[in-house]
Structure 1
Amino acid sequence: MKKIVTGIGALLATAAPVLAGGIERAPQSLAPLFENGNYAELSFGGVNPSVRGTDAAGFETGDVAQGYGFFGLAYKHQFTDNLSGAIIVEQPFGADVLYPIASSPVLGGTRVEVNSTTYTALLRYKFDNNFSVHGGVRGSHADGGVRLQGAGYATTSGYNLDIDGAWGVGWVAGVAYEMPEIAARVSLTYNSPIEHDFDMSESGGPLPITFKDQYTVKTPRSWTLEGQTGIAKDTLLFGSIRWVKWSEFDVDNLLFPIASPAGEIPLVELEDTTTYTIGVGRKFTDNWSGSVSFLYEPSEGDTVSPLAPVNGRKAVTLAAIYSMDNIKITTGINYTKLGDATLGVGPSGAKREVAKMDDSEAWGIGVRIGYSF
């Protein structure tokens, strides 16, 4: 059972979530903090999404989602029987969407790219009554760019936004309760929003000149409830509920939001998301364990932005864990059925339809190598 418990934290992040709500790619799990003793890990992998549909003029959009790779690092140190700490490096937010110019006259040429890396430093104090508290600081470095192109964007077609890299700082806090005799643990973690003061450059569209200034972008706050418990010999049930307040992810600059008679037109408008995961892990031999988990994220809202062209998802992840002495190797494969989406452009509550995306999916594969000492 110990090998399952120490490997289960890899399952939600090894085969990374694919095109999740907003621009989320990883769930910011704090699983390394709950490993036994001192622990270090390296994770890496890749994702191959396929997102396509038909624009409002009847043309195929082509595949608009670009593949990507990911990596992560973590180190956990046990200072005393009660006090431990961890450093976690990951890439929780990202986007790489490009509408081929030759395919769609409505959206062809539209592009969004977002890159981010976060560095989280944590402390955890475990009380004698099985409760523990954890918290720390998180630094985030991000950059990106947006280009709006095609007839769907009307007067804003040709608009280009370049966002230089910048740092932001937030915080993490949570509580957990454990019952080691049945391998049970429940944890609740809050991730604060992080504000980045970006240097941005805008040009094109209705803007006759290039304009440069500094603007603030806030990444969203979130709550994550994670749990696991033994349900039979060598068998573990686990799951999570994650809520992300994407509605506070704003990109405000000189041109956007645009005031119109029907209301303001934002550059990016995303809906809050709730994601549910449940799975079962089992130890087969002294060296081998495995698991299967299922994920469900319901669709939110009637229309979504062409810059985030999916709405909801269902996924299954299979993982195999090989343990030998102090080394643990987890390999996971993930299949995600991405929700059909209606893409809209315009003021909130009065968006005009520019495309419909359907039959979208993604495959992800990842490896995590952990070492306990």
Structure 2
Amino acid sequence: MLNREALACAVGMFIVSGNTVAGGIDLSGMSVVRLFDPGTFIEATYTDISLDMTGEDVGGFETGDVKDDFSDLSLVFKHDINEKYSLAVLKDTPFYAQTTHKTGVFAGLANKVETEGITGLLRYKFDKNVAVHGGVSAHKMDALTVVPAAYIPPDGYRLESEGEASYGYVIGVTYEVPDFHALVGLTYFSEVDNTLKANENGVDTGDLELTTPESVNLDFRVPVSPGNIIFGGIRWTGWDGYKVTAPSGFEVASVTEDTVTYQLGAAHVFSPEFIVFARGSYEAGPKADQDPDNFYGAIKQVGVGFAFTKSKTTVTGLINRVTTDAKTGAIGEFDDGTALALSLSLKQNF
């Protein structure tokens, strides 16, 4: 018998933990698939990410590990109001990136950006097959940039930016066949205009304005035989033209390429209580020459996981391994990078 709750957890974990390393500054992928799950529940997912990205810079020096380990927590509340309406509130980290050059030619150069997101969604079912969804997403972004004195004498450059709440919208449509747990969904996320208070070298210099890009998620799940299902998605993000410029005119970052991430997974139901699944994803990676934050090639991921349900509680786990292709350019010669993400999710149905 198909356990819809456990299967939903497997699909959700597959999506939520799918962007350990990604183009631009994508992290969570802003998945809304939990809105499509049946019932009323709360869920917490914790992910611990260990990265190893090293190489040799243009001066011939070993870079050391330029990416620090980090962790992330996402939360979901989903409620069926009635047969037609349902709602969800999701807390995630839509955007995150961190690079610190500790040794070599670029020693002391560092960038970090982190965005906290809360999204409120409402879904309306026209019938058992067709539904629409939409809502509002609130983002708060903070950022730090450090340039050593070797590049900007005599004292270097430091930009600390603290954001305030900024808002965008979400809209989408789904078609599903509930009896077979089959679904395809298309969701659009608008741009978000962020305003951050900038402090440059210890002086408050005014507002830093930046726009995080629009994006589109295509999600699907399709049964292929009794007890087996495939699921996946495609995410497009319009990074081309993304630019961060401080009030003083100092250009902090820019991106010139959109990104497309492809994900595919499969799940097998061993029993109503126990499901295992495997996943993979691919992103072409930056085609432009290297810069201090984007110095790697194609991004490939593979992971395995499980979902176990007892009564109204489901525990889901995932081990996800990421590799980035080696790349040589203006920053140096970087080896194949690796990352290991361990995710654990606890879901309580009511």
Shared fold (TM-score, shorter chain, > 0.5) = yes
Measure the CA separation in 1 of the matches of 2:154 and 2:21: 26
Measure the CA separation in 2 of the matches of 1:299 and 1:117: 24
Among 305, 311, 323, the alignment partner of 2:309 is: 323
Query: Residue in 2 aligned with 1:206?
Result: none
Query: Residue in 2 aligned with 1:338?
Result: 324
Which digits, 9 at most, give the CA deviation of each residue in 1:169-203, with x for residues without a partner? 11101000001232210000011111111111223
1:355 pairs with 2:332 = yes
Amino acid at match of 2:83: D
Query: Residue in 1 aligned with 2:9?
Result: 7
Measure the CA separation in 2 of the matches of 1:74 and 1:154: 44
1:147 pairs with 2:146 = yes
Q: Within 5 A, what are the aligned runs for 1:198-209?
A: 198-203=196-201
Measure the CA separation in 1 of the matches of 2:22 and 2:149: 25
> For 1:84, what is the secondary structure of its paired residue?
strand
Among 232, 237, 242, the alignment partner of 1:239 is: 232
Measure the CA separation in 2 of the matches of 1:211 and 1:85: 41
Q: Is the Cα contact below 8 Å between 2:3 and 2:273 reproduced in 1?
A: no
Among 155, 161, 179, the alignment partner of 2:177 is: 179
C-alpha distance 137-342 of structure 1, shift in aligned 2 (>3 A): farther
Measure the CA separation in 2 of the matches of 1:189 and 1:304: 31
Q: CA deviation at 1:94?
A: 1.2
> For 1:138, what is the secondary structure of its paired residue?
strand
Measure the CA separation in 2 of the matches of 1:327 and 1:142: 34
Structure 1 spans left out of the alignment, 5+ residues:
204-208, 258-265, 344-352
Which digits, 9 at most, give the CA deviation of each residue in 1:138-190, with x for residues without a partner? 00111111112376x57799222110232211110100000123221000001
Q: Within 5 A, what are the aligned runs for 1:66-145?
A: 66-100=68-102, 103-104=103-104, 106-128=105-127, 130-145=129-144
Measure the CA separation in 2 of the matches of 1:43 and 1:98: 27
- The share of aligned pairs that are identical, in percent, is 27
Query: Residue in 2 aligned with 1:300?
Result: 286
Measure the CA separation in 2 of the matches of 1:244 and 1:357: 25
Query: Residue in 1 aligned with 2:192?
Result: 194
> For 1:8, what is the secondary structure of its paired residue?
helix
Query: Residue in 1 aligned with 2:254?
Result: 269
C-alpha distance 227-246 of structure 1, shift in aligned 2 (>3 A): same
C-alpha distance 176-221 of structure 1, shift in aligned 2 (>3 A): same
Amino acid at match of 1:246: W
Q: CA deviation at 1:317?
A: 1.3
Amino acid at match of 2:254: E
Q: Is the Cα contact below 8 Å between 2:10 and 2:305 reproduced in 1?
A: no
Q: Is the Cα contact below 8 Å between 1:40 and 1:76 reproduced in 2?
A: yes
Q: Is the Cα contact below 8 Å between 2:17 and 2:28 reproduced in 1?
A: no
Measure the CA separation in 2 of the matches of 1:242 and 1:306: 25
Measure the CA separation in 2 of the matches of 1:326 and 1:220: 38
Among 296, 299, 314, the alignment partner of 2:300 is: 314
C-alpha distance 181-119 of structure 1, shift in aligned 2 (>3 A): same
Q: CA deviation at 1:53?
A: 1.0
> For 1:5, what is the secondary structure of its paired residue?
helix
Amino acid at match of 2:308: Y
Structure 2 spans left out of the alignment, 5+ residues:
none
Query: Residue in 2 aligned with 1:260?
Result: none
Which digits, 9 at most, give the CA deviation of each residue in 1:189-243, with x for residues without a partner? 011111111111223xxxxx94611121111111010101100011001110001
Query: Residue in 1 aligned with 2:214?
Result: 221
Measure the CA separation in 2 of the matches of 1:41 and 1:316: 24
Measure the CA separation in 2 of the matches of 1:155 and 1:286: 65
Q: Is the Cα contact below 8 Å between 2:163 and 2:195 reproduced in 1?
A: no
Q: CA deviation at 1:16?
A: 5.0
Amino acid at match of 2:85: L
Q: Is the Cα contact below 8 Å between 2:245 and 2:253 reproduced in 1?
A: no
Query: Residue in 2 aligned with 1:372?
Result: 349
Which digits, 9 at most, give the CA deviation of each residue in 1:271-293, with x for residues without a partner? 21100001100101221101001
1:279 pairs with 2:265 = yes
Measure the CA separation in 1 of the matches of 2:157 and 2:276: 49
Q: Is the Cα contact below 8 Å between 1:274 and 1:298 reproduced in 2?
A: yes
Q: Is the Cα contact below 8 Å between 1:229 and 1:238 reproduced in 2?
A: yes
Among 165, 168, 174, the alignment partner of 1:167 is: 165
Amino acid at match of 1:268: A
Q: CA deviation at 1:12?
A: 2.5
Amino acid at match of 1:136: G
Amino acid at match of 1:36: P
Which digits, 9 at most, give the CA deviation of each residue in 1:62-120, with x for residues without a partner? 100000010011111111101000000011211221111xx21x211011111221000
C-alpha distance 62-125 of structure 1, shift in aligned 2 (>3 A): same
Q: Is the Cα contact below 8 Å between 2:217 and 2:235 reproduced in 1?
A: yes
Q: CA deviation at 1:267?
A: 2.6
Amino acid at match of 1:88: L
CA RMSD of aligned residues (A): 2.0
Q: Is the Cα contact below 8 Å between 2:262 and 2:281 reproduced in 1?
A: yes
Aligned length: 347
Amino acid at match of 1:133: V
Measure the CA separation in 2 of the matches of 1:150 and 1:253: 18
Measure the CA separation in 2 of the matches of 1:362 and 1:328: 26
